[in-house]
Amino acid sequence: MHCSTCKNTQLEPQELEPGLIVASCPSCSGALVSLMNYRFWADRYATAGGVVESANDAQANESESVHSCPKCSRLMMKYQIGPQTQHKLDLCSACDEAWLDKGEWQLLKRLDLQGKLPKVFTDAWQRNVRKQRQEIALNERYEKLLGEESFSRVKEFRDWLLQQPNKDAIKQYLISHQE
Ligand SMILES: [Zn+2]
Ligand SMILES: [Zn+2]
């Protein structure tokens, strides 16, 4: 198998974590992870109480370019990791293989996702990331509009309001007493 980014470079077996062998590119440090192998590893990792060495601060690469699967050459699909990062993981659903760019495994560890890799590839996960992104964007817009101090007051009030059993009555009061 060859790296889809470096074309002529042959992928080599590498131990990503003790007991988790992946096909890694010696040139760009990308890695092809078989999700079947990963699930075996993650099961044992969970029963072992999660003894993965902590993440180092290696910078993660992000290639916006589309990867083709090193195994079957089909185009891989991109999946958002989370609202706090622009990084995406690539998946070939036909082979059940994921491609991690250099540093992305470390990134998953920093986000405490090292035991949940297949979840990232679910619709529910992707929907949730989009929802959280929209929420962050909305907050940023209102923070700009209202200013930092007012916005933090409004947010505090909102958090309080949402916990009130009679919140609908409070909202109605606010709406009908606008002047
Ligand atoms: Zn490569
Ligand atoms: Zn494939």
Q: Which of 37, 82, 91, 34 is nearest to 60 (CA)?
A: 82
User: Residue 124 and residue 126: Cα distance in Å, rounded?
Assistant: 6
Length of the chain: 179
For residue 159, how far is its CA from the centre of ligand 1 (angstroms)?
Answer: 47
Domain ranges of the chain: 12-117, 128-176
Q: Over its length of 179 residues, how does the chain's per-residue pLDDT go in tens digits?
A: 999 889 889 999 999 999 999 999 999 999 999 999 999 999 887 666 555 555 555 566 666 678 999 999 999 999 999 998 989 999 999 999 999 999 999 999 999 999 999 999 999 999 999 999 999 999 999 999 999 999 999 999 999 999 999 999 999 999 998 77
Edge to edge, the sheet with strand 77-82 lists 12-17, 20-24, 31-34, 97-100, 85-92, 77-82
158 CA distance to ligand 1 middle (Å): 49
List the beta strands (DSSP E) in 35-147: 77-82, 85-92, 97-100
pTM for the full model?
0.78
Q: What is the DSSP letter of 10?
A: B
Measured in Å, residue 179 CA sits from the centre of ligand 1 at 64
157 CA distance to ligand 1 middle (Å): 51
